[in-house]
A and B are shown apart, each in its own frame.
Chain A
């Protein structure tokens, strides 16, 4: 029996006094891939931001337990150090900060948190180069400012690069497939699949079933108006593709 990684109980979250998530329940165990689908505005992205600790969202009720710890008591950086990773739908541009500096600081911060020694720039470079090759990214990519002027595909690849570096336990992919061509989706999913074998779990937020050709979900959730109204397996996706959300009800 796999260990439980994440438990959401009756979670209610709001932004600017508007309730978005309503009594949401979800349990994710190690080695599982959960897909969350739903129409626009159903609260999928809100869920990912609430999990990562975005300061604009307020938790009105309920609880989140991550690796037996109370997630709601943790700052966003602690959540990250504990192994929660959010691959952003729209990674934001950070002018003036090179990708390399950013990656190294992020990586070493996690090592510090885990009381491991930091990597010096050379050691870190070696580590990164291996990953760059895997992801078919050129190394000059590191000298550019973080996400600044990156194409949609480059931004997403960079998210995956960060994911591999930080080696998280729970990965939330928020529309990772948007802005990616088929080849890129394939590479990225391959890397993700390799990660999964190491007891990591995934929450995949997506509009399009296309990505599910490469990731094999163990659970499929349909989210509507801030709540999961149906849970099933790949069959649910097939119904959805044929009949749309109307077919679910």
Chain B
């Protein structure tokens, strides 16, 4: 008889092993594209800021916006209040401008370097309009520059402007001047000021009055260069009675150095306008030892200026070594409303400090926060949210639900809700829950023939369902896939 001890020495170890195998799935998007590029010397100073502005042939207002932001940035300090361990960032070691070299100005997508087109195809994003999803217009950003925007003409017919922010600065300077920096002031925070000084590209959308944007708008950000940071800037303006759905996706190659990504997104919704902004963030998160990965410091903010305006943020955050991000809504218009739906997944040594701010200033304003944090491995996952009800925000309401899910016994989940209420006729509710995958749940599911890997993915998808359901169809599928790919952790 064989010794049965060798066969099933420790089934628990076997189960953990299986789970570990799934955790260590390689990052699919970690490849690099070799292209000829034009870069600035490393480091940041006033000359670099000026050079950038001149290179991009920007109007004076923008140049002085940048320089003022830079000067302010010099006086600011990197924030340390978040629940994050960050190695000091050497801002002089970063390249602030890196663009694929072009011999002449591009007139159409056909003239884009085939290597770059291939890169986006490898990422599942085809820039050839005819082959693409028929209802999404895409702006593709490669390192510091927008590569191309699809469906421009079709959008233009309905009056929608969707282009790179660099183009917007050239062709619609009055709109940019009027709105840029009005939601996130250049002096708002350290990374915001840095972005305001040095932002290289990003997307611009303008939805005129009474227009429902006929396509979903989408930007895909790709960091390719090893030493360059990505500082993009997105500005979306929705005029009275207009509507727009905006999607954002991000990936980066695998490098052992950390790369910096400091973006700003500003949303402006006028009376009865509706902006829905969805993100699937899958920047490279570093390896299983915590080496490398993107530092993701993002300031995203929206303002509901008009009556009954709505801004809705949905985010699926699975990548980055460090995520520092609080998409917010300032609710000024009467009966305006803000929503925040978030899934943040951290694995290995990833750290996320993310959440939202809902600032109620107008009467009868409402906000809803649903946050789902999943921590695996040795990661740290914090929800940080502020609900502020101003003294004039009579009869306002907030509902918050912050759930955490722990996989394994070495990860950390924290919730920091801040409530700042100045109006007694308003109602604020907060719910929080923490759950863990139990061995008994896994046993039950495996007994029914479902593998451990599938079982965990099923449990996590169940946990995230409320938020995934908020995503547009194409994104929901992508998010589901991404979650299944990245979700698994250790069961302790």
Secondary structure class of chain B's binding surface, majority of residues: helix
Is residue A95 within 8 Å, beta carbon to beta carbon, of the partner chain? yes
Beta-carbon contact of A72 and B7 below 8 Å: yes
Given A62-B4, A77-B446, A77-B449, residue A55 in contact with residue B12 (CB < 8 A) = yes
Asked if A81 and B449 make an inter-chain contact with CB atoms under 8 angstroms apart, the answer reads: yes
- Cβ of B416 within 8 Å of any chain A Cβ, yes or no, is no
Interface-centre pick from A79, A101, A105 (highest chain B CB count, 10 A): A105
Contact B12 A77 (CB under 8 A): no
B427 to chain A, nearest CB (A): 27
Name the contact of A73 in the complex, choosing from B7, B12, B440, B463 (C-beta under 8 A).
B7
Q: Please encode chain A, from 82 to 111, with 1 for each CB lying within 8 Å of some chain B CB and 0 for all others.
A: 000110100110111100011001100110
- Given A55-B15, A101-B458, decide whether A94 and B446 contact each other with a Cβ distance below 8 A: no
Compute how far the CA of A75 lies from the CA of B15 in the bound complex, rounded to whole angstroms: 9
The answer, yes or no, to whether A230 is at the interface (CB within 8 Å) is: no
In this assembly, does A40 line the interface, its C-beta being within 8 Å of a C-beta of chain B? no
What chain A residues lie within 8 Å of B440 (beta carbons)?
92
Encoded as 1 (CB less than 8 Å from any B CB) or 0, chain A from 45 to 89 comes to 000010011111111111100000010110111011100011010
Known contacts: A53-B11, A73-B8, A94-B441. The answer to whether A109 contacts B449 by CB under 8 A is yes
Let me know if A162 is at the binding interface, CB within 8 A. Answer: yes
Known A-B contacts A94-B459, A105-B458; A86 and B447 likewise in contact (beta carbons under 8 Å): yes
Return chain A residues, CB-CB under 8 Å to B447. Answer: 52-53, 76-77, 79-80, 85-86, 88
| A70 / chain B contacts, CB cutoff of 8 Å | 7
- B10 at interface, CB cutoff 8 A: yes
Give the Cβ gap from A167 to chain B, nearest Cβ, in Å. Answer: 12
Chain A residues whose C-beta falls within 8 Å of the C-beta of B458 in the assembled complex = 94, 97, 101-102, 105
Number of A-B contacts (CB under 8 A): 105
Residue contact B448 to A80, C-beta cutoff 8 Å: yes
Q: How many residues of A contact B (CB 8 A)?
A: 41
Q: Does B20 contact A (CB under 8 A)?
A: no
Is B435 interfacial (CB 8 A cutoff)? yes
Judged by a CB distance under 8 angstroms, whether B245 is at the interface is no
Cross-chain pairs A/B with CB under 8 angstroms, 28 sampled: A52-B443, A55-B439, A55-B443, A58-B8, A58-B10, A59-B5, A61-B5, A70-B7, A72-B8, A75-B446, A77-B446, A77-B451, A85-B447, A88-B447, A94-B445, A94-B462, A96-B459, A96-B461, A96-B464, A102-B445, A102-B448, A106-B445, A106-B448, A109-B449, A109-B450, A109-B451, A162-B448, A166-B449
| B interface residues (Cβ-Cβ under 8 A, vs A) | 1, 4-5, 7-12, 14-15, 435, 438-441, 443-452, 454, 458-459, 461-465
In the complex, besides A76-B443, A109-B449, 11 extra interface pairs with C-beta distance below 8 angstroms are A58-B9, A61-B5, A75-B451, A77-B450, A80-B449, A92-B441, A92-B444, A94-B445, A95-B462, A96-B463, A102-B450
